Every structure is written in C-alpha cells, then in structure tokens.
Amino acid sequence: MHRLSNPGLSRRDVLAAGAATLAGSAASRDALAQEGVNLDAAGTLEAPSQPFHDTVRLTVNGVIRELRLDTRTTLLDALREHLHLTGTKKGCDHGQCGACTVLVDGVRINACLTLALMHEGDDITTIEGLGTPENLHPMQAAFVRHDGYQCGYCTPGQICSAVAVLKEVDAGIPSHVTHDIAGAPALSDEELRERMSGNICRCGAYSNIIDAITEVAGTRA
C-alpha cells in the first residue's frame, strides 16, 4: 500500500469529493492526520493533488512490458501514450463508442474504462497484434475486401470486437436477440448487429461490416 503524501487541498477538491467519500470517526481522523491525510470539518477527505505511481507488468502482443505509471493511467492511455501502439483509438473515452476495444486474455473490453494497473500479468492483444500489413488477420482482410469502413477511425475497435464476437458465439454465449437461450446461438445478421452494438461507426459502414464478419464466420465453419 502507498502512503498518501502531500494532500494539497483546495475548497474545490473538498466540494468535489462530496458524497463520494466515507465519513471518518474522530479517531480515524487523527490516525489519518498522522499519515498526512486531512479531513475537513464535515469529515470529507481532501483529495490529494500530487499523482501516485506504481508499476505493472503485462504482455502486449506477445511482448512482456513493464511500465511505471501514474495510477490514473487507463489501459488505453498506457497502450497509446506509453507503448506508442496508436492503432487502438480513443473515441469517447467513456465506454460508449467501442473505438478502444482490445482483447484481454482473448476477451474484448473497452480499454478506456479500465486502469492499466488492474492488468498485472494479463495478455493484451491490440489491432497491431492481430495481423500485419503483409500478413493480415482474416478479419482485417475481410474488412478491406468488403469496404467495412470509411474514415477508418472506429475500424481497429470494430475488428477486435468482431474477432471476439465469433469466439463468443463459438463458446455458446447467448445475446439479447438469441431466441432460445438454452441452445447454441446461431449466426445471423440480427445476432451480429446486436453483438456489435458496442461499436459505433459514424460513417455508417455497418452493412459492410456485417458482410465482412459473415464472410469470416462462413470460411471458418
């Protein structure tokens, strides 16, 4: 555990902390003061103003990386700003658009809504790890063939998501539109649209994206 240090306070921090904090007893207040943590009269913790750092070791596209990071660093920012893997895109940065979709131990998640420090020992795959310009992943090749993009900004997230969707279907994971959740889900346009709904494409390449995924699904079968 890290000691809190230099908890520079401002009235604004105190107000912003507001309901998000737990009230402390007088005893715990004294104990905390010894650690350099201060509470205001209402027992509200005054947010520290200096960043904290910690290290994390993870595997990215097959390479073990050790990073020392500000605790606030999201997995997305670690990939883009620290490892310079800029294929993964920052769209909304709030888990709404899917542009930051990566695979963690083969499972798709929004890299913007998870801290890098939470991925100690994890195996991360980004769009750069799926294929290369000389040796495209089948899903990348299908997106090219079917023109599954216009501006291309959402495309890395779409492709990572699509690769994981096919694995989820193979694993028998049902979706909102699966008619019989007791059985194995079948692949259909309706299923793919539902399963890809966490990836927004402002250019509206959706129908071509569905065509690309359908082709890959068919050639695997």
Partner 1 sequence: MKPFSYERAASPAEAAAAAARRPGARFIAGGTNLLDLMKLQIEVPSHLIDVNGLALDTIEPTPEGGLRVGALVSNTALAADPRVRRDYALLTRALLAGASGQLRNKATTAGNLLQRTRCPYFYDTAQPCNKRRPGSGCAAIGGFTRQLGVIGTSDACIATHPSDMAVALRALDAVVETVQADGATRTIPMADFHRLPGETPHIETALQPGELITAVVLPRPLGGRHIYRKVRDRASYAFALVSVGAVVQPDGTGRVALGGVAHKPWRVEEAETELPRGARAVTERLLAGARPTRDNAFKVTLVERTLGSVLAEARG
6 SS3 class: coil
Size of the site for partner 1 (CB under 8 A): 72
Per CB under 8 A, contacts with partner 1 among 100-119 are: 101, 107-110, 112-115, 117-118
Kindly write out the interface string for residues 34-63 of this chain, putting x where it contacts partner 1 by CB under 8 A and - elsewhere. Answer: ---x-x---xxx-xxxxxx-x---------
Question: Contact with partner 1 (CB under 8 A): which of 71, 144, 152, 207?
Answer: 71
* C-beta closer to partner 1: residue 77 or 211: 77
Closest CA to 139 of 89, 83, 101, 95: 101
Least distance (Å) between residue 53 CB and partner 1:
9
Q: Which of residues 72-101 bind partner 1 (CB under 8 A)?
A: 72, 74, 93-95, 98, 101
CA separation for the pair 147, 92 (Å, rounded): 24
The total of other beta-carbon atoms located within 10 Å of residue 47's CB is: 16
Give me the least distance between CB of 100 and partner 1, in Å please: 9
The size of the chain, in residues, is 221
Classify 101 as helix, strand or coil. Answer: strand
Give 191 or 211: the residue with its C-beta nearer to partner 1.
191
Which two three-digit tokens encode residue 48? Answer: 């520290």
User: CB of 16: closest distance to partner 1 in angstroms?
Assistant: 5
Short-list 72, 74, 55, 53, CA closest to 64: 55
Within 120-139, the residues that bind partner 1 by CB under 8 A are: 120
Q: How far is the CB of 80 from partner 1 (least distance, A)?
A: 16
b/e burial code for range 183-220 (CB count within 10 A of at least 16 → b): eebebeeebbeebbebbbbeeebbebbbbbbbbbbeee
Identify residue 117 by its one-letter amino acid code.
L
Determine the interface stretch with partner 1 among 57-65, 83-91, 125-133, 197-205 (rule: CB under 8 A): 197-205
CB of 150 to partner 1, least distance (A): 21
Considering only residues 136 to 195 of the shown chain, the ones binding partner 1 according to CB under 8 A are: 161, 164-165, 168, 171-176, 178, 181-182, 193-195
> Measured between alpha carbons, how far is 61 from 63 in angstroms, rounded to an integer?
6
